Amino acid sequence: MRGLCGSIAYRPRTGAGKEPDVLDLVLYGPQGPQPLGGSAPVRAKVRNSGERAVWIAGVLDGSEDGIRFPHYLPAVTLADGGRTVARPGPAEDPLVGPLRVGHLLRLAPGESFDPTAGAGCLPLTTFAAFAPQAPGRYRYTLTLSTEAGRPEEWLGGFGLPSGAEREELLDLIARVPRITVSAAPLILEFR
Protein backbone atom coordinates (compact mmCIF):
# COMPACT_ATOMS: atom_id res chain seq x y z
CA MET A 1 0.00 0.00 0.00
CA ARG A 2 1.45 3.38 -0.97
CA GLY A 3 0.78 6.41 1.21
CA LEU A 4 -2.65 7.32 2.42
CA CYS A 5 -3.89 10.87 2.71
CA GLY A 6 -3.42 12.26 6.21
CA SER A 7 -6.37 13.00 8.41
CA ILE A 8 -6.80 16.62 9.36
CA ALA A 9 -7.10 17.88 12.92
CA TYR A 10 -6.92 21.57 13.49
CA ARG A 11 -7.73 24.38 15.87
CA PRO A 12 -8.14 27.93 14.62
CA ARG A 13 -5.31 30.23 15.71
CA THR A 14 -7.18 33.30 14.56
CA GLY A 15 -10.39 34.93 15.78
CA ALA A 16 -13.91 33.82 14.96
CA GLY A 17 -14.94 34.18 11.33
CA LYS A 18 -11.39 33.92 9.95
CA GLU A 19 -9.99 30.99 7.98
CA PRO A 20 -8.10 28.59 10.28
CA ASP A 21 -4.59 27.46 9.36
CA VAL A 22 -4.65 23.86 8.21
CA LEU A 23 -1.82 21.36 7.69
CA ASP A 24 -2.09 17.85 6.27
CA LEU A 25 0.34 15.15 7.33
CA VAL A 26 0.84 12.19 5.00
CA LEU A 27 2.93 9.01 5.28
CA TYR A 28 4.30 7.25 2.18
CA GLY A 29 5.86 3.83 1.89
CA PRO A 30 6.87 1.21 -0.65
CA GLN A 31 4.39 -0.98 -2.50
CA GLY A 32 4.20 -4.72 -1.91
CA PRO A 33 5.64 -6.94 0.80
CA GLN A 34 8.91 -5.92 2.44
CA PRO A 35 11.75 -8.29 3.35
CA LEU A 36 12.13 -9.31 6.99
CA GLY A 37 15.13 -7.93 8.83
CA GLY A 38 15.25 -4.65 6.93
CA SER A 39 13.63 -1.28 7.39
CA ALA A 40 11.07 0.10 4.96
CA PRO A 41 11.66 3.53 3.43
CA VAL A 42 8.75 5.36 5.06
CA ARG A 43 8.55 9.08 4.32
CA ALA A 44 6.38 11.92 5.55
CA LYS A 45 5.03 15.06 3.92
CA VAL A 46 3.50 18.16 5.51
CA ARG A 47 1.17 20.14 3.24
CA ASN A 48 -0.48 23.52 3.71
CA SER A 49 -4.11 22.88 2.76
CA GLY A 50 -5.27 26.25 4.08
CA GLU A 51 -5.93 29.45 2.22
CA ARG A 52 -2.97 31.45 3.52
CA ALA A 53 0.73 30.96 4.10
CA VAL A 54 1.91 29.31 7.33
CA TRP A 55 5.27 28.81 9.02
CA ILE A 56 6.46 25.37 10.19
CA ALA A 57 9.63 23.47 11.07
CA GLY A 58 10.62 19.92 10.26
CA VAL A 59 11.93 17.21 12.57
CA LEU A 60 14.48 19.00 14.75
CA ASP A 61 16.81 17.76 17.47
CA GLY A 62 14.40 16.66 20.24
CA SER A 63 11.23 16.70 18.09
CA GLU A 64 10.90 12.92 17.78
CA ASP A 65 11.15 12.20 21.50
CA GLY A 66 8.93 15.12 22.50
CA ILE A 67 11.62 17.24 24.19
CA ARG A 68 11.03 20.29 21.98
CA PHE A 69 8.46 21.58 19.53
CA PRO A 70 7.41 20.83 16.96
CA HIS A 71 6.70 17.30 18.12
CA TYR A 72 6.85 14.63 15.42
CA LEU A 73 5.76 11.49 17.27
CA PRO A 74 6.12 8.22 15.31
CA ALA A 75 5.06 4.73 16.33
CA VAL A 76 4.80 1.29 14.78
CA THR A 77 2.21 -1.20 15.98
CA LEU A 78 1.08 -4.64 14.92
CA ALA A 79 -1.81 -4.09 12.49
CA ASP A 80 -3.65 -7.08 13.96
CA GLY A 81 -3.71 -6.49 17.68
CA GLY A 82 -2.29 -3.02 18.13
CA ARG A 83 0.74 -3.90 20.29
CA THR A 84 3.41 -1.20 19.98
CA VAL A 85 6.64 -2.59 18.53
CA ALA A 86 8.59 0.64 17.90
CA ARG A 87 8.47 4.18 19.26
CA PRO A 88 11.02 6.78 20.31
CA GLY A 89 13.05 5.76 23.33
CA PRO A 90 13.75 8.03 26.25
CA ALA A 91 15.96 10.98 25.43
CA GLU A 92 19.64 10.36 26.09
CA ASP A 93 20.19 14.03 26.82
CA PRO A 94 17.47 16.64 27.38
CA LEU A 95 19.66 19.37 25.91
CA VAL A 96 18.82 19.97 22.29
CA GLY A 97 20.38 22.27 19.76
CA PRO A 98 19.07 25.80 19.33
CA LEU A 99 16.33 26.75 16.93
CA ARG A 100 17.58 28.96 14.12
CA VAL A 101 15.62 31.21 11.75
CA GLY A 102 16.59 28.92 8.85
CA HIS A 103 14.85 25.96 10.54
CA LEU A 104 11.45 27.57 10.02
CA LEU A 105 10.00 27.70 6.54
CA ARG A 106 7.05 29.42 4.97
CA LEU A 107 4.56 27.22 3.17
CA ALA A 108 2.23 28.92 0.71
CA PRO A 109 -1.24 27.41 0.20
CA GLY A 110 -0.86 24.05 -1.56
CA GLU A 111 2.89 23.78 -0.88
CA SER A 112 4.37 20.79 0.92
CA PHE A 113 7.71 19.66 2.27
CA ASP A 114 9.47 16.63 3.65
CA PRO A 115 9.95 17.34 7.38
CA THR A 116 13.07 15.15 7.46
CA ALA A 117 14.93 17.14 4.78
CA GLY A 118 16.29 20.66 4.89
CA ALA A 119 18.07 22.96 7.29
CA GLY A 120 18.39 21.39 10.74
CA CYS A 121 16.03 18.50 9.92
CA LEU A 122 16.67 14.95 11.08
CA PRO A 123 15.32 11.57 9.95
CA LEU A 124 12.54 9.84 11.89
CA THR A 125 14.83 7.26 13.47
CA THR A 126 11.93 5.20 14.85
CA PHE A 127 10.92 4.36 11.29
CA ALA A 128 14.47 4.13 9.92
CA ALA A 129 15.60 1.72 12.67
CA PHE A 130 12.53 -0.53 12.74
CA ALA A 131 13.45 -3.84 11.06
CA PRO A 132 10.92 -6.52 12.01
CA GLN A 133 12.10 -10.07 12.54
CA ALA A 134 8.60 -11.61 12.51
CA PRO A 135 6.33 -11.67 9.46
CA GLY A 136 3.15 -9.67 9.66
CA ARG A 137 1.34 -6.45 8.92
CA TYR A 138 2.67 -3.36 10.68
CA ARG A 139 0.90 -0.01 11.16
CA TYR A 140 3.07 3.13 10.95
CA THR A 141 1.63 6.27 12.53
CA LEU A 142 2.87 9.82 12.89
CA THR A 143 1.47 12.76 14.84
CA LEU A 144 2.64 16.36 14.48
CA SER A 145 1.95 18.81 17.30
CA THR A 146 2.82 22.48 17.38
CA GLU A 147 0.75 23.19 20.51
CA ALA A 148 3.49 24.39 22.82
CA GLY A 149 2.32 26.09 25.99
CA ARG A 150 5.08 28.70 25.63
CA PRO A 151 7.13 29.81 22.61
CA GLU A 152 10.33 29.00 24.54
CA GLU A 153 9.47 25.29 24.18
CA TRP A 154 10.61 25.64 20.55
CA LEU A 155 13.97 27.30 21.21
CA GLY A 156 16.15 24.40 22.37
CA GLY A 157 18.34 23.77 25.37
CA PHE A 158 21.72 25.44 24.80
CA GLY A 159 23.24 28.12 22.63
CA LEU A 160 19.95 29.97 22.75
CA PRO A 161 19.62 33.08 20.63
CA SER A 162 19.37 36.48 22.27
CA GLY A 163 18.48 40.01 21.32
CA ALA A 164 17.17 40.63 17.80
CA GLU A 165 17.66 37.02 16.72
CA ARG A 166 15.50 35.79 19.63
CA GLU A 167 12.80 38.36 18.84
CA GLU A 168 12.78 37.30 15.17
CA LEU A 169 12.44 33.64 16.18
CA LEU A 170 9.61 34.37 18.61
CA ASP A 171 7.82 36.31 15.85
CA LEU A 172 8.14 33.37 13.43
CA ILE A 173 7.03 30.87 16.10
CA ALA A 174 3.92 33.01 16.66
CA ARG A 175 3.06 32.48 12.95
CA VAL A 176 3.06 28.68 13.26
CA PRO A 177 -0.51 27.32 13.43
CA ARG A 178 -1.26 25.72 16.80
CA ILE A 179 -2.55 22.27 15.84
CA THR A 180 -2.15 18.57 16.34
CA VAL A 181 -2.56 16.45 13.22
CA SER A 182 -2.14 12.71 12.69
CA ALA A 183 -1.40 11.05 9.39
CA ALA A 184 -3.66 8.25 8.27
CA PRO A 185 -1.91 5.00 9.24
CA LEU A 186 0.34 3.35 6.69
CA ILE A 187 0.11 -0.45 6.70
CA LEU A 188 3.13 -2.41 5.45
CA GLU A 189 3.46 -6.17 5.24
CA PHE A 190 6.77 -7.89 5.98
CA ARG A 191 7.53 -11.45 4.85
CATH number at residue 153: 2.60.40.2970
**Domains: count for the chain:** 1
Q: What is the pLDDT of residue 92?
A: 77
Three-state SS for 138? strand
Q: Nearest Cα to 161, choosing from 97, 94, 95?
A: 97
Q: Could you tell me the residue range of the domain that residue 183 belongs to?
A: 23-190
Tens of pLDDT, residues 141-153? 999 999 999 999 9
Q: Please check whether residue 87 lies inside any domain of the structure.
A: yes
Tens of pLDDT, residues 117-162? 999 999 999 999 999 999 999 999 999 999 999 999 999 888 888 8
Q: Please check whether residue 12 lies inside any domain of the structure.
A: no
Of 27 and 6, more confident? 27
Q: What is the model's pTM? A: 0.88
In order, the DSSP letters of 138-185 are EEEEEEEE---SSGGGGT-SSS---HHHHHHHHHHHHTS---EEEPPP
Q: Please check whether residue 9 lies inside any domain of the structure.
A: no
User: DSSP state, 107?
Assistant: E
Q: What is the pLDDT of residue 21?
A: 57
